[in-house]
Amino acid sequence: MLEHLNRAMEHIERELDREIDVAGLARIAMTSEYHFRRLFSMLAGMPLSEYVRRRRLTVAGAEVLDGERTLLDIAVRYGYTSGEAFARAFRAMHGVGPGEARRDGAVLTSQPRMSFRLVVEGSSSMEYRIVERPDFRIVGKKARVTLIYEGVNPKVAEFIQGIGKETVERITALTGRDPVGIVSVSDGFSPNREEGSEYDYWHAVVAREDAVVPDDLDVLHVPAGTWAVFTNSGPFPEALQRMWGDVASQWFPSNPYEARPGPEVLQLRFVPGTPDAESELWIPVTRASR
């Protein structure tokens, strides 16, 4: 799969001065648009749209310094509707406006071209299983929070602390299927999953089929599908966040599956007296058509 991803990256370079069709990139990568966007963000550490914007402004910066085209021509070539919009974007990335850069020969910022490669760690293996699940319900409390890639999310921590012991006990009593007990559920991401965007966070359970749900609890109906279930242990949250990276950079490129839309379910068991936690991460997947 990495070979196809790199072909898509080469296509981006050829199309920087045109509108880039993400669905077309996904076809080159031989995957779905949803999986392409998500995998790119996880591997690159930034959304696809941000990478394209930065690459365009990098190439545009070289043309500004070259001096052959007018600033308006460069702005229009790279998709900006006005010189003012181009100047704002240019300054946000390079720290100076295009006019100043051309006049003073400023030092500009560069976004390097990206390519992907698989690094195989021979000393360890990733434990996972594939599970086929009928439809089920997520029941609990949810909040709209901000996406943070590193460290403890303070909005999530604040939300959990505010739920109350009695409510948590009522939610826990509804638990049914594996994973059993309280889980963290993430859903409703933006297409690019950029850091700082919002998503739905659930403090909930996978409810048993006959559970009667109180009116004050939230319910998410999840259709039947395939799930990849990964296990991990180590310091929290660092070990868990490393596992996310390993899933993107090692597991998906090496296995015939791709991500599909749906909630991601995480169960944590903290090890008493240590900073460690045992994690079980459920990611909705589908068989890749390669």
All domains of the chain in start order, with CATH = 2-104 (1.10.10.60), 128-287 (3.20.80.10)
Q: What are the tens digits of pLDDT across the range 230-255?
A: 988 888 888 887 887 788 777 887 77
Q: What are the tens digits of pLDDT across the range 40-78?
A: 887 787 889 999 999 999 999 989 988 889 999 999 999
Give me the pLDDT at residue 255, please. Answer: 78
Give me the pLDDT at residue 3, please. Answer: 83
Quick one: average pLDDT of 178-199?
88
262 pLDDT exceeds 60? yes
123 pLDDT exceeds 50? no
Give me the pLDDT at residue 235, please. Answer: 86
Give me the pLDDT at residue 126, please. Answer: 59
220 pLDDT exceeds 50? yes
Give me the pLDDT at residue 122, please. Answer: 39
Give me the pLDDT at residue 124, please. Answer: 42
Share of the chain above pLDDT 90, in %: 56
User: In this predicted model, which residue has the larger pLDDT, 197 or 11?
Assistant: 11
Mean pLDDT is lowest, of 51-60, 101-110, 117-126, 266-275, for 117-126
The mean of the pLDDT values for the chain is 88
186 confidence band (pLDDT: 50, 70, 90): very high
Quick one: average pLDDT of 169-196?
90
Give me the pLDDT at residue 125, please. Answer: 46
Answer yes or no: are the C-beta atoms of 1 and 31 closer than 8 Å.
Answer: yes
Q: What are the tens digits of pLDDT across the range 133-154?
A: 999 999 999 999 998 877 778 9
Share of the chain above pLDDT 70, in %: 96
Quick one: average pLDDT of 214-243?
90
